[in-house]
Amino acid sequence: MEEDLKQRPKSRGLSTLEKSLVLLFVALTGACIGLVVIYFTDKNSVSTDEEVNSGCGGPQALQGPSGEFTSMNHPSSYDNGMSCSWHITVDPGMVIHLWFEDFSLEATDLCTADYFTIQDNLGVIGKTLETLEPD
């Protein structure tokens, strides 16, 4: 039985496209005034020996079984013109869950202020223009 396991081909794993999700938060008032990008990748494909600032304060790279990040000035409003990004790194085969404890967007007509999208390399998976309330 042990020989059968050794002779079995290993699963191919996930492609870069499958491993990469991008979470975008764009604040607009006629022009782009804020952007948050979160990129997910396998642990093996990223080398982050030094801690890089995300642009919103705090580390750019999140590693381990859990982590958190916030916009600058949280829990107060974020600044105009803000641009932030984070890399969330997990071991191959792990699943990433996004959990929002406090999430608020500026409400405007025609989506001229804030909106939040989740997208992968193929395009937008979801979009909201409103504050998310816990159940």
Domain ranges for the chain, please list them.
Answer: 21-128
Question: Count of alpha carbons within 13 Å of 129, Cβ hemisphere only?
Answer: 8
63 φ, ψ (degrees, to nearest 5): -135, 160
User: Considering only CA atoms, which of 59, 66, 18, 26 is closest in space to residue 42?
Assistant: 18
Over residues 13-34, the mean pLDDT reads 40
Which comes out higher in pLDDT, residue 27 or 108? 108
pLDDT in tens, 72-128: 777 777 676 665 666 666 676 777 677 767 666 666 666 566 666 665 555 565 655
User: Considering only CA atoms, which of 113, 111, 114, 115 is closest in space to residue 126?
Assistant: 115
Amino acid at 69: F
pLDDT of residue 93: 72
| Of 6-10, 54-58, 64-68, 112-116, the least confident | 6-10
pLDDT of residue 14: 46
SS3 of 4, please?
A: helix
pTM value is: 0.42
